[in-house]
Amino acid sequence: MNGGGTALARKLHLRIWRDSIVANLLAATLLTIIGVQMEPFIGRRSGISWTHIVVRELLVGAVFIIVCAAVSYYVVGRRLSPVRAFLVEEREPTMDERRTTLAQPTKQGVVAFGYWAAILVVAYVLNRRDFVWSFSVDVKIVVAVLGWGTYAAAAMYLLVETTMRPALPFVLHGESRVHAKLESLLTRSLLIGGLGSGWVLVLFLTLIVGSTEQQRSHAEGGAILSLVIAMAASLILTIVSARSVIRPLRGVQHAMRRVADGDLDITVPIDDATEVGQLQAGFNHMLAGLRERERIRDLFGRHIGAQVAEAVLGQSGGMIAETRDASVMFIDVMSSTALAQQRPAQEVLAMLNALFDAVVRTVGNEGGYVNQFQGDGALCIFGAPQEQPDHAERALRAARALREEVDAVARAHPGFNAAIGVSSGEVVAGNIGSESRYEYTVIGDPVNEASRLTDAAKIYSCRLLAARSAIDAARDEAPFWTFAGEFELRGRSQLTLAYAPV
């Protein structure tokens, strides 16, 4: 983290302290508003002014908030000490530290509720001489104070849950698990519904029970205001909760757009211990699978050729042999045995790699497919596995360009040279081998003819010969070639008409 752990621990401390002040101040404000509506239901002793009581309670509330702010700073620090330990020391958290980190929203919520339990005692001490106490009055006061205390605890839980997100990736380790009942979207929704609006209505019903007809007649306006406050309280908690869900979901949405654009080098931080975190973890697992699939595809393509790889992946049962009109080009190093005897192995390898690099680039520029590297040679195909009506033109253009590339390699490595042969015609393209292992290749007379033309080209001046079949099939490319003669190729009964570049 390079010192970032200390800064993060400090930031968490200050933000949770801020959350504590906000939650308690919100609950105290709403309690003050709805407390005014309790006046008809709570009996005051004669001579006691309700205005005097309200002013006093407001002062007590202000002192309560100040005391809570001061105490919270210390309490929050104590609660966060296990979290601060692994962040500052920049190490892996222990299992207890993980559990403590995930439990921070609950722990801080319990502390917030404790403040309101304390204010209940203070309120009783301050008001015991001003009211006519009875069991019903006691119940009303307890429900009011502890009800809003519970609301403050719920607000604190939701705020701290959002605040703690930067620390969660350090403890979840790429996966999200539900560690407690509160860490569930369903429980969170019930929490909002029950504490945001339901308990306010319960409070109002509590005030009605045991009240006189005159008290109930004065409660109509209070009922409407209580409903409004319940809706406002529920809306506040809903907004806080929705933000805690929407923020990580937007992170996943942004990552999905990047994946759609072809960027797989991303990871969504796992910063939620609920079902949203499980979605984040699942998305990361999916990305890991996609990256592995692309890596395999890349390696697969490098070994058998990108065109064949795409064709194989598109056919679940493997590639079916089919008859194609195609062009074949052979490249063979001249005097390779002598080179291996006279030159160091590393130098020979450098020559071959330079040649094969030129072959791959040149053939690829024309949309061809390098089918095999055969030790000191290569077999290239045009028109398979992808059909190309102008395969002959592509093969002849590639042959002329490759001849120049070979000359460049020969200048860099004196004594090195290679011959090239090209032929066109009908071939069978498909897999050859066994069920457990096979490779894609082409079989047919053009393959044999191109191979034999390569042998003949080794004794021809330009080291490049193309069969008449290729010239006839390539209309636009034919003017760049001239008749080189009739050649008696090994293994063939008839003379072969061959052409060389002009």
Give the separation between CA 134 and CA 43, rounded to whole angstroms: 9
175: pLDDT strictly greater than 90: no
Q: What is the pLDDT of residue 180?
A: 42
Q: What is the pLDDT of residue 39?
A: 55
Specify the pTM: 0.52
Beta bridge partners of 379: 330, 372
| Single-letter amino acid code for the residue at 300 | F
Most confident of 94-103, 144-153, 301-310: 94-103
Comparison of pLDDT for 283 and 48, the residue scoring more: 283
- 118-122, 185-189, 349-353, range with the lowest pLDDT: 185-189
- In angstroms, the Cα distances linking 407 to 5, 324, 348, 403, 456 are 60, 32, 16, 6, 18
> Using 50, 70 and 90 to split pLDDT, how confident is the model at 53?
low
Q: What is the pLDDT of residue 173?
A: 64
C-beta of residue 42 within 8 angstroms of C-beta of residue 137:
yes
- 162-171, 192-201, 225-234, 260-269, range with the lowest pLDDT: 192-201
C-beta of residue 8 within 8 angstroms of C-beta of residue 91:
no
How far out from the chain centre does Cα 140 lie?
Answer: 52
State percent of the chain over pLDDT 70.
70
Q: What is the pLDDT of residue 179?
A: 46
The SS3 assignment for 272 reads: coil
Return the axis-axis angle of helices 185-193 and 220-260, rounded to nearest 10°.
160
299-304: average pLDDT = 53
- 35-49, 217-231, 482-496, range with the lowest pLDDT: 35-49
Q: What is the pLDDT of residue 77?
A: 83
- Going along the chain from its start, the domains and CATH numbers come out as 4-260 (no CATH), 317-501 (3.30.70.1230)
96: pLDDT strictly greater than 90: no
Q: What is the pLDDT of residue 14?
A: 87
478: pLDDT strictly greater than 80: yes
C-beta of residue 263 within 8 angstroms of C-beta of residue 221:
no
pLDDT (tens digit, 9 = 90+) per residue, 114-128? 877 777 777 667 666
| Single-letter amino acid code for the residue at 57 | E
Comparison of pLDDT for 124 and 133, the residue scoring more: 124
160-176: average pLDDT = 73
State percent of the chain over pLDDT 90.
14
Q: What is the pLDDT of residue 403?
A: 92
181: pLDDT strictly greater than 70: no
C-beta of residue 43 within 8 angstroms of C-beta of residue 90:
no
pLDDT (tens digit, 9 = 90+) per residue, 143-160? 767 777 777 777 788 888
> What does pLDDT average to over the chain?
76
Give the separation between CA 178 and CA 276, rounded to whole angstroms: 10
Beta bridge partners of 481: 501
420: pLDDT strictly greater than 90: yes
Backbone angles phi, psi at 267, to 5 degrees: -145, 135
DSSP state of 483: E
Most confident of 75-79, 185-189, 404-408: 404-408
405-409: average pLDDT = 90
Q: Calculate ∠ Cα 56-58-61, nearest 5°.
A: 110
Give the separation between CA 131 and CA 122, rounded to whole angstroms: 15
229-255: average pLDDT = 74
pLDDT (tens digit, 9 = 90+) per residue, 445-470? 999 999 999 989 988 888 999 999 99
Look at the alpha carbons of 299, 300, 304, 305 in this order and tell me if their dihedral is positive or negative.
negative
Q: What is the pLDDT of residue 327?
A: 94
